[in-house]
Structure 1
């Protein structure tokens, strides 16, 4: 569309204040900007078309409602002059500011004025116009430096134990002290304990949410509205959902630890939020009164880390072995089936390879097994091991620790070496990004190419951090495995006289159970391998 051309100056006044600028004092306030710019325009005798305001927006990008409306009106010919208090009010991204002032505005016949910087595009030969590129670079540097200082202050506050979130999670309220310490809200805390206790028994988030809703317990959003007057937004928040339950189960705050700095923006210009690796987060153990015990927390985390969550039956229960048994041939989960047959209408539970069951007999060999048969095998093995442990607990402990120390030494060294190499590459990528950015500022590299390099480096860093986290988890798991023999023996002794398999029992004791072919070739015996969470067989 061809923009309208105006002989008289029709001005659009643009005002901006970011959260960071608020700290600079009254001189940058929206009201003072408006007074200064309006006075300037009226003294010139120009018409004011509109005042465009972005209050609380950063100048590092142009994704702001006020500036978008300003630019739309400029392109449509509704205004032919843009007036701001100073160049930084229009923006702090020197590339984008330069593009608008040098290319976009001239193409639409727009005059741009930054009053306090003495910049006026109608006067090209002034010293202020000559200095404008340097001002733009300085404004961007100021934004980067301010962002860096704010991040440093937040990090320092987090290390000092100051709770930075605007509100506490369900089960806590913020104390009115300098650190905003979380204190227990007992009414909601009872529900939090119930959620953790039921999850520790192997119940799914879906099952827990259904029961909470059925029992008439208010969802966190409804509870907050009822107790604190915080309005519920969206219909879905009126009900307990599996997502809400999982969110509570993920909160380390409930065990008394203050965990902060869990996410960050990619840069002061790119507001995309990314997760921070666990080792870079600020964690203060035992910072406040816990709602749940650390033992219960660890038990739930162990369950969450298991390979299976299990599937819910039509009766809304998760079978004890659901998701734990695996086909030895293809690795698929053994699927649970229950049928009713015979004169007595007896319930028959069976398991079959999930791949074969869903996609046909040609996809895998037959691994069918009767539920009663596998239950007996498991119960007999648990009781036998529990008896041995009860009779020789100290001897088993010593043999286990000695054997695992020998096996772990070499593995730990290799893992630590891999972590060191990947962290070195992460640091090198930081240097490469800094170099690319400096080259862009000095004009040695186009912005598009710079951003391309930085995006590639960031993607590589993210992958490396995930790999490092994985390796560190391996080290922690190996250490836990060596140190938790006492806990495992305590668990298995509970089941010395067990007669019925439960979901909690399976998740406490087993990593997986491998089911071999029903009819192995050459008359070989059928494979049934019980893989415990601790390699107890090696020392019995």
Structure 2
């Protein structure tokens, strides 16, 4: 007998709405404004939310960056949201807004395709999930990339023509105000510039001037305290003499947009008397000579830093850094200080970063005297003869002489006993020789030693 079972019709379900986002970008190179960016965001927000089949997933917008760089924070955030399944469709104005680099464009579109995400390019009327889309994208992206290169070259040509006429393309400089046509001196800022130059020629470091300006409450044109690095840059800035050296840097190419220092790859232009001077040429030249002198002397140029003959001359074979000096008193009530030299990397980052050996200063003096053939250590002879000492492994000191000679000296650390007080040495001596009274002294020595290790 037949059995018939009725299967009830399913209730119609509402179609799942697509999660739709948009990507917008405005380049400062085309002189677009904040209002243009706001207009794009408003347009896409309204456009997406009007469609009942779409769920609004946001608008990602980068402003002031070119389409040829990877440093687009919002673009990267959009990619991460795509990975997390927050987006099904991406709307964008054109290929050039999305990317001008053909390789990057294809890689990104392919990646989105693997995730099942569709990219719609409005201007070109292209859907990234359609058939044979890669050929069309390749052609159009190549055109866009070439357009980017052409625009970049035109901009460079205009800037270089300006350089040849002594026209600058940089207008933010402390001490001056650009009124649209020329630089005018800002009196109170000019006084700060003169103070910086005066301090430097009087032997003060940039760090000293940094502290002085901070105490005076003087800020840079960005509103922050003057860092020492900015003070050094001011000391090298030829514009304060009323002259300009143009094309000191250049953009590598239109793809990376990386700025490089011009080391002779392109011509530079020195334009004289282009604006009022704050520093006279003679003072500026003296500062450049002093900068070179201090650069040559290194740490020894700064009289405010306590140095010894070993400063900047003890090097780590493991990481290449210089050794630093530290000291501690043998006893709290003692004036005698025990000095030891430690690799800077090890000192700052720990033994996990550098396993170099610490070297007592007495060992450096002892073995330096030996390789120099001296009965006792002499700082002047050391400075005249030895360029540096490389600490290698656990037991080697490699002496590099100024004349090119290299000598390797084996050594053994006595750091533990070197820092003992005289009382401790006597106690240990008595203990070693079997003195009957050594037990009490030994007990005190062991107690003291344990206390030092804490």
**Residue 82 of structure 1 corresponds to which residue in structure 2?**
90
Give the alignment partner of residue 277 of structure 2, picking from 279, 290, 293: 290
Asked whether 1:231 is paired with 2:231, we answer no
Could you tell me the TM-score, scaled by structure 2's length?
0.58
CA distance 1:265–1:362, shift in 2 (3 Å)? farther
Give the alignment partner of residue 368 of structure 2, picking from 354, 357, 360: 360
Distance 2:248 2:93 in 1: 38
CA distance 1:358–1:37, shift in 2 (3 Å)? farther
Matched position secondary structure for 1:12: strand
Asked whether 1:124 is paired with 2:131, we answer yes
**Residue 26 of structure 2 corresponds to which residue in structure 1?**
17
Distance 1:25 1:190 in 2: 36
**Residue 243 of structure 2 corresponds to which residue in structure 1?**
257
Distance 1:209 1:358 in 2: 40
After superposition, residues 125-524 of structure 1 pair within 5 angstroms as 130-169=135-174, 172-178=175-181, 180-181=182-183, 183-206=184-207, 212=212, 216-221=215-220, 224=221, 231-232=223-224, 237=225, 242-277=228-263, 280-306=267-293, 307-308=296-297, 310-313=300-303, 316=304, 360-364=368-372
**Cα contact 1:15–1:85 (8 A) shared by 2:** yes
CA distance 1:198–1:120, shift in 2 (3 Å)? closer
Distance 1:295 1:254 in 2: 12
**Cα contact 1:13–1:52 (8 A) shared by 2:** yes
**Cα contact 2:23–2:91 (8 A) shared by 1:** yes
Query: Whose radius of gyration is greater, 1 or 2?
Result: 2
**Residue 379 of structure 1 corresponds to which residue in structure 2?**
none
CA distance 1:82–1:273, shift in 2 (3 Å)? same
Deviation at 1:93, TM superposition (A): 1.2
Distance 1:245 1:55 in 2: 31
Distance 1:190 1:45 in 2: 65
User: Gaps (5+ residues) in structure 2?
Assistant: 1-14, 311-362, 387-454
Deviation at 1:9, TM superposition (A): 2.7
Distance 1:84 1:292 in 2: 52
Structure with greater proportional helix content = 1
Deviation at 1:191, TM superposition (A): 4.0
**Cα contact 1:91–1:97 (8 A) shared by 2:** yes
Matched position secondary structure for 1:109: coil
- Cα offsets for 1:314-351 (capped at 9, x unmatched): xx4999xx99xxxxxxxxxxxxxxxxxxxxxxxxxxxx
Deviation at 1:45, TM superposition (A): 3.8
Could you tell me the TM-score, scaled by structure 1's length?
0.49
**Cα contact 1:15–1:34 (8 A) shared by 2:** no
CA distance 1:10–1:104, shift in 2 (3 Å)? same
Matched position secondary structure for 1:360: helix
Distance 2:223 2:124 in 1: 45
Deviation at 1:130, TM superposition (A): 4.3
- Cα offsets for 1:49-102 (capped at 9, x unmatched): 22222222211134312222222222222221112122222111110111122x
After superposition, residues 37-76 of structure 1 pair within 5 angstroms as 39=47, 42=50, 45-76=53-84
Matched position secondary structure for 2:274: coil
**Residue 435 of structure 2 corresponds to which residue in structure 1?**
none
**Residue 426 of structure 1 corresponds to which residue in structure 2?**
none
User: Gaps (5+ residues) in structure 1?
Assistant: 1-5, 225-229, 324-354, 371-513, 518-540
Structure with greater proportional strand content = 2
Matched position secondary structure for 2:297: coil
**Cα contact 1:60–1:269 (8 A) shared by 2:** yes
**Cα contact 1:17–1:57 (8 A) shared by 2:** yes
- Greater length-normalized contact order (CA 8 Å, ≥ 6 residues apart): 1
Deviation at 1:291, TM superposition (A): 1.9
CA distance 1:61–1:20, shift in 2 (3 Å)? same
- Cα offsets for 1:442-486 (capped at 9, x unmatched): xxxxxxxxxxxxxxxxxxxxxxxxxxxxxxxxxxxxxxxxxxxxx
CA distance 1:52–1:29, shift in 2 (3 Å)? closer
